[in-house]
């Protein structure tokens, strides 16, 4: 690992401004500060169960969520040279329309300032390579709840003027009606026009009923929504985009899918077969336009995948679906999935598992390993 450039494309930060906003709220999402204890983040509706004491709801949010020095220490601990930081879910989806633009600008400026300050401190003359330092870039957040689409479009264009911003992150609800919503076309158009990468990340999962209801959810903690709900949410969202012809109308759209695309690489063939046999589509005698491009074409042209999949089988499926290793990028999902061992120098199995999977899947292909670990991200995001 030491000889390769390591770029973490999937790593989250809650800037202080974002934490302050969450602390001011009483509805999900919000941060609760117990007396003499670590703050608690209530991020999912299932976390806000009145039967659970307030001081025990959600998850603890220690400084790894908001202190950039902890992020840098984590990078050094795991040999990471560069991190592309982003807000974690639920981003800004929950904001009132009149607040969305102000908070998006404030948080994105906060991310830019953080990256600039860190990079200036480690390399004041900007003469060292990415291999020689801990460098930060960022994905910006979008004011998707704003009252007009042009506000979102203008923020996408503004982000291109910030030196350390390399794209945007958003969830699967879009403007509130999913990613097949025609009202999103100006957003897709702006992303395509500015050649901005969209990092698509799940948050809402599936309804509790899909897993057996609240009682089952409480019994098994976050395993079902995180292991199954998140990947299926991503798969459904992208498939809706495909069916709605988003990729037909915006062939230059570039999307990075979290968690190796959920189940999309494994189910791509089934999706394609179902589209081929669907009688509602014009191609099969119906009256619904249907997608013009195949799911395989979209995967190998518009889609990039992170390598946050924790196993060689999933990684190989991702590589096959993407058409090669040049469309995969390493990630850690820090600070989520921390080690249960709370000692300061504890190994993060969630990180080392991804390292091991990459090396095991490409043990005889050193160029592919280097590309996934950092080379692809440096090329795709122009990390200079």
Residue that has been written with the tokens 């395989």 in this structure? 296
- Give the C-alpha separation, 257 to 270, whole Å: 19
Token couple for 148: 């007009």
Is residue 281 in some structural domain?
yes
Is residue 180 in some structural domain?
yes
Element (H, E) at 32: strand 30-32
Is residue 1 in some structural domain?
no
Is residue 148 in some structural domain?
yes
The per-residue pLDDT for range 39-95, each reduced to its tens digit, is 999 988 878 888 889 998 988 999 999 999 999 999 999 999 999 999 999 899 999
Tell me the whole-structure pTM to 2 decimals.
0.95
Is residue 2 in some structural domain?
no
> What pLDDT is attached to residue 202?
96
> What pLDDT is attached to residue 294?
97
Token couple for 298: 């979209």
Please list, in sequence order, all residues whose beta carbon lies within 8 angstroms of the beta carbon of residue 80, skipping any fewer than 6 positions away: 6, 7, 8, 74, 134, 332
Is residue 164 in some structural domain?
yes
Structural domain span for residue 214: 7-381
Please list, in sequence order, all residues whose beta carbon lies within 8 angstroms of the beta carbon of residue 152, skipping any fewer than 6 positions away: 142, 143, 144, 146, 186, 187, 190
> What pLDDT is attached to residue 1?
45
Residues counted in the chain: 384
Q: Give the β-pairing of 165-170 and 135-141.
A: parallel
CATH code, domain with 312: 3.20.20.140
The per-residue pLDDT for range 82-96, each reduced to its tens digit, is 999 999 998 999 999
**Total tally of structural domains belonging to the chain:** 1
Given a cut of 70, the residues of the chain with pLDDT beneath it are 1-2
> What pLDDT is attached to residue 292?
97
Half-sphere exposure of 344 (CA within 13 A, CB side): 4
> What pLDDT is attached to residue 10?
98
């Amino acid at each position: 690992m030491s000889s390769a450039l390591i770029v973490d494309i999937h790593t989250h930060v809650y800037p202080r401004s974002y934490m302050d906003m969450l602390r001011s709220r009483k509805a999900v999402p919000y941060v609760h500060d117990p007396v003499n204890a670590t703050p608690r983040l209530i991020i999912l509706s299932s976390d806000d169960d009145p039967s659970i004491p307030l001081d025990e709801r959600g998850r603890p949010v220690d400084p790894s969520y908001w202190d950039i020095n902890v992020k840098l220490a984590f990078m050094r601990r795991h040999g990471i040279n560069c991190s592309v930081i982003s807000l974690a879910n639920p981003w800004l989806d929950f904001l009132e329309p009149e607040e969305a633009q102000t908070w998006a600008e404030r948080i994105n400026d906060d991310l830019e300032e953080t990256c600039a300050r860190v990079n200036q401190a480690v390399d004041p003359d900007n003469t060292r390579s990415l291999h020689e330092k801990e460098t930060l870039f960022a994905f910006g957040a979008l004011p998707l709840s704003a009252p007009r689409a042009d506000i979102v479009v203008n923020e996408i264009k503004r982000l291109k003027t910030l030196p350390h911003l390399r794209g945007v992150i958003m969830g699967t609800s879009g403007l509130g009606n999913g990613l097949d919503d025609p009202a999103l076309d100006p957003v897709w158009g702006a992303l395509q026009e500015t050649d901005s990468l969209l990092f698509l990340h799940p948050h809402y999962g599936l309804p509790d009923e899909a897993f057996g209801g609240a009682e089952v959810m409480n019994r098994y903690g976050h395993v079902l929504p995180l292991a199954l709900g998140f990947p299926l949410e991503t798969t459904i969202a992208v498939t809706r985009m495909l069916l709605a012809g988003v990729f037909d109308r915006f062939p230059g759209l570039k999307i990075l899918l979290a968690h190796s695309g959920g189940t999309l690489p494994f189910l791509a063939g089934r999706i394609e077969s179902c589209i081929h046999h669907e009688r509602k589509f014009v191609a099969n005698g119906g009256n619904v336009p249907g997608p013009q491009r195949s799911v395989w074409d979209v995967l190998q042209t518009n889609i990039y995948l992170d390598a946050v999949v924790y196993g060689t089988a999933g990684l190989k499926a991702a590589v096959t679906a993407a058409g090669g290793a040049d469309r995969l990028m390493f990630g850690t999902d820090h600070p989520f999935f921390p080690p249960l061992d709370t000692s300061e120098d504890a190994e993060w199995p969630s990180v080392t598992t991804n390292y091991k999977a990459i090396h095991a899947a490409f043990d005889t292909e050193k160029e592919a390993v280097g590309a996934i670990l950092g080379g692809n991200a440096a090329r795709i995001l122009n990390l200079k």
